[in-house]
Structure formats: C-alpha cells, structure tokens
C-alpha cells in the first residue's frame, strides 16, 4: 500500500511540474504587446526531434516546453559542395558555401574551396502561428538548426539557447529567420556560434514584433572579420518592418548590430533602446536605405563604431546624446528622448542626428515606452538577459 501511494504522490508531483510554467513568462511589451503564442494550450515537451519539428510547424496552437538541448546537428547528414575562402587569417576565418553563387558573384578573388557542412543547418525548422516555444532552465533549446517563420502570427520564442549552426561557414544557416509575420516576441534567448545571421528579417514585412532581453554572443572560433568575433548579428530588412529591439546584450559582435534596411522601396522602423553593446571590434548599428532607427538609452562600451555612416549606411538614425537632442523628440513623441551613452567607444555624438527619423515613431507604443537611463543599462542587462533568467 505505502509504496504505491508514494508512487502516486510522485506521479502527481510530476504532473504538477509538467504543468508548471506552462505559459510564456511575463508579457510581451513594445510592438509585440498582446502576443500570446500558444496561449493556454496545455504545455508539453516533445520526446524526439521529429515530434518537435511537427509541433512547431502544424496548425495547432501549442505551448512547447524544451527541457534540454534538441540537437539536430548530424540528424540529416552532411553535404559536400563548392565554396570559397574569402578571408585568410589567424585566428581561423569563416569559409563560405557557394549558396546562390555568392562566392562567384561577391568574392570573385577568393580561392575556391570544397566545403562539407551539416545539412540540418541549412534547412530551418518551420514555425507556424499560435506557438509558444519555451525553454526550461539555463540549458534548453536547439542546436544545429534554426527557426524560420514565414508569414506566421502570434509566436513567442523564449528562454532558448540556439547554437552551433555550421559556424564555420557563411550561409551555413541562420538562428532565427522571419520572412513576413506579425505579433512575434523573441525574448531571453542566448544565441552563439551561427554560420550566418543570429536574427534576420525579410523579405516580407515583420510587424508588431519585439526582440528583447536576448544575448547575442559573438565569441567565435570562425570569424568573417578575422578577429574572433561574429559579424552577422542581426539584419532587419523586411518590406515594412516595425520592430522593438530592446534590452539585448550584444557581446563581442563585430557587425550588423543590427543592420537595418538596404533594399530600395522597403522601409523599417526600429525602436532600439536600452541595449548593452560590449567589446565590439567592428560596428554596431548599420542603417542602410529605408531604415529609420531611433536609439534611446543604449550603452556602448568599447565599441569601435557605435553607428556606421557613409558608404552604404545611408539610412536614417537618431541617437541623441545631448539634452537638446533629447528635447527635440518632444514635438512628435510628446516626450523627451532618453540619451545614449558611449564609453571607450568610437564617436556617437554627431554621427546619428537625423531628426527625420522621429516621424516613424509617433504611435502610442513608442511614446509610452518605459526606457531606463543609459547609466542603468549595463548592470540591468547583464543581470537579466539571456537564457536561464526567467524560467
Ligand atoms: C491562430 O489563432 C487564431 C485565434 O484563435 C485563429 O483565428 C487562427 O486561425 C490561428 N491560426 C492558425 C494558423 O491556426
């Protein structure tokens, strides 16, 4: 009697912990406000890669809880094909897969190279609408394969580690790709060792989306900039993107932090606030054609180029650093902007001063955003960003 009673108690406790943390933690803020993902669907943990693949892509509302790393790395075997070596340096450079003739078209002087990479990395997991994908603890998520939303809506991706996607190769795969979509909240994830982009939007419009509290860890053994740092951090270049990018920790990344715009006829409004940028040997924000980027309360610590200008960086960015520049926001936003800080970094004052940006930020979401003073950002972001903090 006692042993089976005890077993029954264990069974009940197990049920309780499975139902625990069934929902995403906290509520989406910024432009993704109102995003509920899988909502109140019963939380469940997949038992295999195949089940996770199916659950993510089907048309059922789901709360999918990952309790470990789902490692797809070698699940689909390897591919050997044409590639190139655009960079030669120490420490190790990235090589490139000749996807869509990229080597031929963009790196014609690079030596050819036969490349072997994992197929799983170049075929991302499709993510459908009405999904919450939630990691449990500090070591749950997906390895060897990324996520791709194509026109989906109402999706939460939270507390995941996403890593090790053919990091040796440009075009080896993205961590999170969104080709059109709305109501998307990407929160408290840690992303590292990715071949191509850690986050990419395009070509469809990505709206009502918030990218928050993530760690973009750029430390890598294979660098396109030959300095041990990851260049391909985030590219936001959809047809009409509306994105809140806040409270993220960009650590040792060397480029595209984020790259915004670059395609004629497309436009993007990116509210970039309270991000902590640390130890970048390259650039952070790269505003290209079509971009309107409003920077508030960001903290750049040892970043060579906080905001690129010149060359193709002809998009609009406004990064107030003086009281007068902060006050210039009042007419359109109904409040002052929060000034940015750059310490041991390249010039920020005078670089991003285009008040034409402000017309893109008159919606109430921007006016009412809660934004920390830049001085509070380093401690806050280091304590709260990335995997293992919320669940
Ligand atoms: C997502 O949920 C909404 C609201 O319940 C529903 O209208 C919509 O059809 C769902 N989308 C999909 C693809 O299931």
At 363, which helix (H) or strand (E)?
none
For residue 152, give the ligand 1 atom closest to its CA.
13
Contact between residue 348 and residue 342 where contact means Cβ atoms under 8 Å apart: yes
Q: Is the pLDDT of residue 349 over 70?
A: yes
For residue 59, give the ligand 1 atom closest to its CA.
14
**Measuring from each residue's beta carbon to the nearest atom of ligand 1, which residues come in under 6 Å?**
59, 61, 128-130, 154
CA distance 258 to 245: 9
**Residue 163 φ/ψ region, left for φ over 0, alpha for ψ in the -120 to 50 degree band, beta for the rest:** beta
Q: Among 149, 157, 155, which Cα is nearest to 130's? A: 155
Q: What is the pLDDT of residues 37-88, one digit of tens each?
A: 999 999 999 999 999 999 999 999 999 999 999 999 999 999 999 999 999 9
pLDDT band for 5, please (50, 70, 90 cuts): very low
Structure tokens at 189: 């994830």
Strands 95-97 and 78-85: antiparallel
Per-residue HEC secondary structure of 9-45 comes to HHHHHHHHHHHCCCCCCCCCCHHHCCCCCCCCCCEEC
pLDDT of residue 335: 97
Q: Active site includes 62?
A: no
- Domains of the chain by residue range: 3-81+119-384
Q: Is the pLDDT of residue 21 over 70?
A: no
Q: Is the pLDDT of residue 1 over 70?
A: no
For residue 154, give the ligand 1 atom closest to its CA.
1
Q: Which of 58, 61, 152 to mutate to test the pocket of ligand 1 (most atoms within 8 A of CB)?
A: 61
Indicate the SS3 state at residue 145.
coil
For ligand 1, atom 3, the nearest C-alpha belongs to 130
Q: Is the pLDDT of residue 11 over 60?
A: no
- What's the pTM value of the predicted model, to 2 decimals? 0.94
For residue 60, give the ligand 1 atom closest to its CA.
14
What is the architecture, at CATH level 2, of domain 3-81+119-384? 3 Solenoid (2.160)
pLDDT of residue 90: 85
Name the more confident of 74 and 1: 74
CA distance 225 to 217: 15
Q: How far is the CA of 251 from the centre of ligand 1 (A)?
A: 37
Q: What is the pLDDT of residues 188-235, one digit of tens each?
A: 999 999 999 999 999 999 999 999 999 999 999 999 999 999 999 999
pLDDT of residue 8: 39
Q: How far is the CA of 30 from the centre of ligand 1 (A)?
A: 22
Q: What is the pLDDT of residues 315-345, one digit of tens each?
A: 999 999 999 999 999 999 999 999 999 999 9
Q: What is the pLDDT of residues 136-187, one digit of tens each?
A: 999 999 999 999 999 999 999 999 999 999 999 999 999 999 999 999 999 9
CA distance 94 to 319: 32
Q: How far is the CA of 148 from the centre of ligand 1 (A)?
A: 18
For the chain, give the percent of residues with pLDDT over 90: 92
- CA dihedral of 313, 318, 321, 325, whole degrees rounded to 10: 140
Q: How far is the CA of 136 from the centre of ligand 1 (A)?
A: 26
Q: What is the pLDDT of residues 288-304, one digit of tens each?
A: 999 999 999 999 999 99
pLDDT of residue 109: 95
Residue ranges of alpha helices (H) inside the chain are 2-19, 49-57, 102-106, 323-327, 330-333, 364-367, 377-384
Q: Is the pLDDT of residue 3 over 60?
A: no
CA distance 217 to 219: 6
């Amino acid at each position: 009697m006692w042993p089976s009673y005890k077993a029954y108690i264990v069974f009940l406790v197990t049920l309780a912990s499975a139902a625990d943390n069934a929902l995403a933690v906290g509520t989406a803020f910024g432009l993704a406000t109102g995003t509920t993902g899988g909502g109140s669907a019963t939380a469940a943990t997949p038992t295999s890669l195949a089940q996770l693949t199916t659950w993510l892509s089907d048309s059922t509302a789901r709360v999918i809880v990952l309790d470990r790393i789902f490692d797809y790395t070698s699940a689909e075997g390897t591919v050997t094909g044409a590639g190139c070596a655009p960079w030669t340096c120490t420490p190790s450079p990235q090589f490139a897969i000749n996807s869509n003739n990229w080597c031929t078209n963009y790196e014609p002087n690079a030596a050819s190279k036969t490349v072997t990479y994992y197929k799983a990395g170049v075929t991302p997991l499709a993510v459908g609408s009405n999904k919450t994908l939630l990691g449990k603890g500090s070591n749950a998520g997906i390895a060897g394969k990324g996520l791709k939303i194509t026109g989906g809506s109402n999706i939460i991706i939270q507390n995941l580690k996403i890593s090790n996607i053919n990091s040796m190769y440009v075009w080896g795969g993205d961590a999170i790709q969104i080709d059109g979509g709305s109501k998307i909240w990407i929160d408290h994830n840690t992303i590292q060792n990715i071949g191509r982009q850690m986050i990419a939007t395009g070509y469809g419009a990505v709206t009502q989306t918030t990218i928050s509290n993530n760690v973009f860890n750029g430390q890598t053994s294979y660098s396109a900039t030959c300095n041990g740092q990851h260049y391909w951090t985030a590219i936001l270049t959809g047809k009409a993107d509306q994105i809140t990018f806040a409270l993220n920790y960009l650590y040792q990344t060397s480029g595209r932090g984020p790259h915004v715009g670059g395609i004629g006829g497309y436009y993007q409004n990116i509210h970039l606030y309270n991000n902590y940028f640390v130890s970048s040997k390259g650039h952070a924000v790269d505003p290209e054609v079509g971009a309107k980027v409003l920077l508030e309360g960001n903290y750049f610590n040892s970043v060579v180029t906080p905001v690129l200008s010149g060359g193709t960086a002809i998009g609009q960015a406004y990064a107030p650093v003086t009281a007068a520049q902060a006050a210039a926001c009042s007419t359109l936003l109904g409040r002052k902007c929060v000034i940015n800080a750059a310490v041991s970094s390249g010039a920020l004052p005078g670089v991003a001063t285009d008040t034409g940006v402000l017309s893109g930020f008159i919606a109430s979401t921007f006016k009412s955003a809660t934004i920390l003073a830049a001085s509070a950002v380093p401690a806050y972001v280091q304590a709260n960003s990335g995997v293992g903090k919320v669940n």
